[in-house]
Amino acid sequence: MNLLAGVDEAGLGPILGPLVVGGVAMSGPEGTDPWRLLRRHVARKKTEKGKVRVADSKKVNQGPHGLRHLEETALVFWTAQHGELPSTLGSWLRALGSDLEHLARCPWYADLELRLPLVADADWIRLQAEMVARALRQGDVRIVDIAVRAVDVEEWNALIADTDNKSRAHFHAYAEVLGRLLQHVPDGSSGHLVADRCGGRMHYANDLRKLCPRATIEVVCEEPAVSSYHVRRANGTTTVTFAERGEDRAFPTALASCFAKYLRELMVECLNRWFCARVPGLQPTAGYYVDGHRFLKDLEPHLATLVLPRERLVRVR
């Protein structure tokens, strides 16, 4: 059985809300293509109605029903692996291993009882999850791990202070999920992990050596669009590829993109609900540069009353 894994992030560009890194690991026979295996239930394009969509999360989240489609994707695969839906955002974060006490330092994350699913139909999700799980079993494919790591604004600002470099801060969060997935390579087998490229970086060998100190790292190629490495360990060899549009290259990377984007959307929803409940007429934000600054400008007259530490709300970079 070989490992096929993927890592992607959501929220690197905004000034508000968390950066979220998602990772998915699957095991199965060599040459298995999950998109093909699951083609009766899963689609890459929005034209295939009635199916769960696994693609770049920016595409899945498009249009008036984007959040519903994104939620369906994340919760169908979570339920296919775990057998049940998470009931609230807090219970899901707890299952993901998040530090809820740390998050609660931000008042907008103090109450994480956001009911799930937020907009999708729970019965439809359960039915689709059962069909996806059955198709995976028939193909002898297993979802080994789903890792989703939220880096809140306070932690992100601390990483920037430590590294003085946005790319290194970004990779610090990436490395945690990468390292976790690489642990799942079965003894005596091979694997392939496809990660979306971290910004414009082209060289990752030294980072992989730090991440896997007992492994031999062999550079396969380092080019503008793709950088690839063999990570050779006693129990097997894994090819790790950092590529532009990684979510188009590998199913787990696309699924990881959807998990990362979904958790970010939920956490931004908490932020918006908290502030809009306290500032009459305040319009919600997605946290990106222009609208994020609009949101902060609208908040300015109320910040003194709300007594909010800026380093927990606004990113320094």
Whole-angstrom Cα distance, residue 263 to residue 103?
14
pLDDT surpasses 80 at 27:
yes
Q: What domains sit in the chain, N to C, each tagged with a CATH number? A: 2-187+248-269 (3.30.420)
pLDDT, residue 190, reads 83
10 Å Cβ neighbour count for 179?
A: 15
Pair of tokens at residue 174: 């990436």
pLDDT surpasses 90 at 83:
yes
pLDDT surpasses 90 at 272:
yes
pLDDT in tens, 211-252: 999 999 999 999 999 999 999 988 789 999 999 999 999 999
Whole-angstrom Cα distance, residue 243 to residue 111?
37
CB proximity list for 284: less than 8 A, separation 6 or greater: 272, 276
CB proximity list for 28: less than 8 A, separation 6 or greater: 1, 2, 4, 34, 139, 140, 141, 142
pLDDT, residue 280, reads 94
The angle, 0 to 180 degrees and rounded to 10, between the axes of the packed helices 122-138 and 66-82 is 50
Reduce the DSSP state of residue 220 to 3 states and report it: strand
Instruction: Quote the distance between the C-alpha of residue 30 and its chain's center.
Output: 25
Reduce the DSSP state of residue 225 to 3 states and report it: coil
For the chain, the average pLDDT equals 94
- Apex CA 194: angle with CA 251 and CA 246, to 5°? 70
Average pLDDT estimate for 206-211: 94
Whole-angstrom Cα distance, residue 69 to residue 141?
24
pLDDT, residue 173, reads 86
CB proximity list for 183: less than 8 A, separation 6 or greater: none
Residue with tokens 């990570």: 231
- Apex CA 25: angle with CA 20 and CA 27, to 5°? 170
Give whole-number Cα distances, 260 to 65, 154, 196, 227, in Å. Answer: 18, 18, 12, 22
pLDDT surpasses 80 at 200:
no
Which of 31-45, 122-136, 279-293, 298-312 has the lowest average pLDDT?
298-312
Q: Where are the beta strands (DSSP E) in the chain?
A: 2-10, 19-28, 42-43, 52-53, 142-151, 189-196, 216-222, 226-233, 236-243
Q: What is the DSSP letter of 86?
A: -
- Tell me the pLDDT band of 195, cut-offs 50, 70 and 90: very high
- Tell me the pLDDT band of 303, cut-offs 50, 70 and 90: confident
Average pLDDT estimate for 275-304: 95
Which of 4-8, 47-51, 112-116, 133-137 has the lowest average pLDDT?
47-51
pLDDT, residue 25, reads 97
Q: Is 310 exposed, middle or buried (0-12, 13-18, 19+ CB in 10 A)?
A: exposed
pTM value? 0.97
Could you tell me which of 244, 227, 255 has the C-alpha nearest to residue 143?
255
Could you tell me which of 131, 103, 163 has the C-alpha nearest to residue 316?
163
pLDDT, residue 11, reads 96
pLDDT surpasses 90 at 187:
no
- Tell me the pLDDT band of 1, cut-offs 50, 70 and 90: confident
Amino acid 198 reads C
pLDDT in tens, 31-43: 899 999 999 999 9
- Tell me the pLDDT band of 167, cut-offs 50, 70 and 90: confident
Greatest Cα pair distance in the chain:
62
Looking at the chain, the whole-number percentage of residues with pLDDT higher than 70 is: 100
Contact 10, 20 (CB under 8 A): yes
pLDDT, residue 307, reads 83
